[in-house]
Amino acid sequence: MSKMTIDDLRRVLIECAGETDDGSLSGDIQDQDFASLGYDSLALMETAARITAEFGVQIPDERIAELRTPREVLDLVNDALAQPS
Amino acid sequence: MTEKVYVTGIGLLAPNGVGLERYWEAALEGRTGIGTLTRFDVSGYPIRLAGQIDDFDAAGHLPSRLLPQTDASTRFALVAADWALADAKIEQGAFADYEMGVVTSNASGGFEFTHREFKKLWSQGPGSVSVYESFAWFYAVNTGQISIRHQLRGPSSALVAEQAGGLDALGHARRTVLRGTPMVVTGGVDSALDPWGWVAQISSGRLSPATDPHRAYLPFDADACGYVPGEGGALLVLESAGAARSRAAQHVYGEIAGYATTFDPPAGSSRPPGLRRAAELALADAGLAPAEIDVVFADASGVRELDRAEAAAISGLFGPGAVPVTAPKALTGRLYSGGGPVDVAGALLSIRDGVIPPSGGTTDVPGEYGIDLVRGAPRPCRVRSALVLARGKWGFNSAIVVRAVPAEPAPPSVNTSPSRS
């Protein structure tokens, strides 16, 4: 897996924590706050666990609490993926 | 004079009827919800019959956001609460958030959810276990989820007492209203029909090994051979009479007039079991004499010695054959925390419709039991007060008295029709 895309994240979020009913996840969500998208800290912990399983990137619990937007998650994951292993 | 506590809304899901009126229709028509458990292959198990709720699509009733974090039992509870509040027609802003509480009972926790997560734990490791396991398993989760969903922030709690717990929740909700919280959503729901939950239930030693759905759970019958477990339950909206009056509540099913709970003495004690005392204390709490009770909704264990003990408690308190007794749960299976609230709903509808539902397939009640069991067909009967009994394994006994609320005189000259002159 070379890169995690916004569509990957969208799918993982829905699998882990369901979708908000107003369809707010379908638009341009890169810079929207997770809280405004309807995802709380537990939803993000669940998402982080799934990202680890799927993309092999560990996100420490204390980092999860700091991630505010989808872009921040993607940057973190893709930076880690770009590191030579 | 003490404030009264009314039931103004009911949401119910039972194996023989999803929704209050569908359940009631099935109860009166004697339609059973018991059949072979189909959630997994039960052919290798000694017990195969259950009361399953089949026609229920959680995604059709609940937001997608709630599905990954809820066990089957919590989904039932959330939907029952939605329906109870809709039935009560409580409008936005009728109460402040801290004026509304939630008191639920649960006996099994989130078995199916936990079973799935444990399987992941063992096969894929701890990182694969859902974070939602942290609360989805928990007995108090239904209270929490209902509270969050409807922003009911008043005094709330959860009670666990096996099958007796649902009545304890109603009793405590009534107490909560009497202490000053005008509206409380209360009741109980259970479901544990996954393989792990099933084995846990079988371990009670009280389940019926019979394979004929119509003869498996025969409370008070000479052929009684245990009970069939079911899933589902009911949530009720309780309101202080004052609150119901001031918002002109559309219908009042009745009053929760009395409640009591007792605990059995230890095995081998010479003291009698506590069920009769619970019934007596609930009657005293309601200020009613035994002769004023029109029907008893029995705990109806289906285990012979427990049936005999309950029959003795009822005939001892009321006199032999002196009060109609019924057990509509013979058509749903025992619903654990859901059983008592479903029976309270049934008792309130008996008051409304002047009819007592029958007791499933039971036909042959031993004469020595000294009870007048309503069986075969519903019995038309004016019902003003009813006693509901429930016993939980390990010694719990609870009793609720419900009473008809006399129709109030029309409120003095409140003109509700909009003036458009």
Report the topology of domain B5-254: Peroxisomal Thiolase; Chain A, domain 1 (3.40.47)
Which residue, among B48, B56, B100, B52, has the nearest Cα to B78 in the 3D structure?
Answer: B56
C-alpha distance from B85 to closest chain A C-alpha (Å) = 21
* pLDDT tens digits along A64-85: 989 999 999 999 999 999 987 6
| Token pair 């709630």: residue | B66
C-alpha distance from A20 to closest chain B C-alpha (Å) = 6
Instruction: List average pLDDT for each run of 10 residues in chain B, which is 421 residues long.
Output: 89 98 98 98 97 95 95 98 97 93 98 97 94 96 97 98 98 98 98 97 97 97 98 98 94 97 95 97 98 98 98 98 98 98 98 98 98 98 98 97 84 51 41
Domains of chain A: 6-20+30-82 (1.10.1200.10)
Burial B329-339 (b: 16+ CB within 10 A, else e): bbbbbbbbbbb
Q: What is the pLDDT of residue B413?
A: 53
| β-pairing verdict for B254-263 and B396-403 | antiparallel
| Domain ranges across chain B | 5-254, 260-403
Mutate to test the interface with B, among A11, A26, A45, A51 (most CBs of B within 10 A): A45
Residue B379 token pair: 């019995």
B66 inside 8 A of chain A by CB: yes
Interatomic CA distance for residues B54 and B92, integer angstroms: 32
C-alpha distance from A85 to closest chain B C-alpha (Å) = 21
C-alpha distance from A52 to closest chain B C-alpha (Å) = 9
Do B5-254 and B260-403 come out as alike in CATH topology? yes
A-chain residues near B78 (CB < 8 A): none
Residue A81 token pair: 């993926």
Angle between helices A41-55 and A6-17 (to 10 degrees): 120
B123 inside 8 A of chain A by CB: no
Residue B98 CB neighbour total at 10 angstroms: 12
CATH superfamily label, B260-403: Thiolase/Chalcone synthase (3.40.47.10)
Q: Is B187 helix (H, G, I), strand (E, B) or coil?
A: strand
Q: Contact A49/B128, CB-based, under 8 Å?
A: yes
ipTM of the complex: 0.89
Q: What is the pLDDT of residue B408?
A: 67
Q: What is the pLDDT of residue B271?
A: 94
Amino acid present at B105:
S
Q: What is the pLDDT of residue A54?
A: 93
- B68, B127, B134 ranked by CB distance to A16: nearest: B68
- The helix or strand, by DSSP H or E, that contains position B190, with its residue range, turns out to be strand B183-190
B65 inside 8 A of chain A by CB: yes
A35 inside 8 A of chain B by CB: no
Reported confidence tier of residue A27, pLDDT bands at 50, 70, 90: confident
Q: What is the pLDDT of residue B420?
A: 45
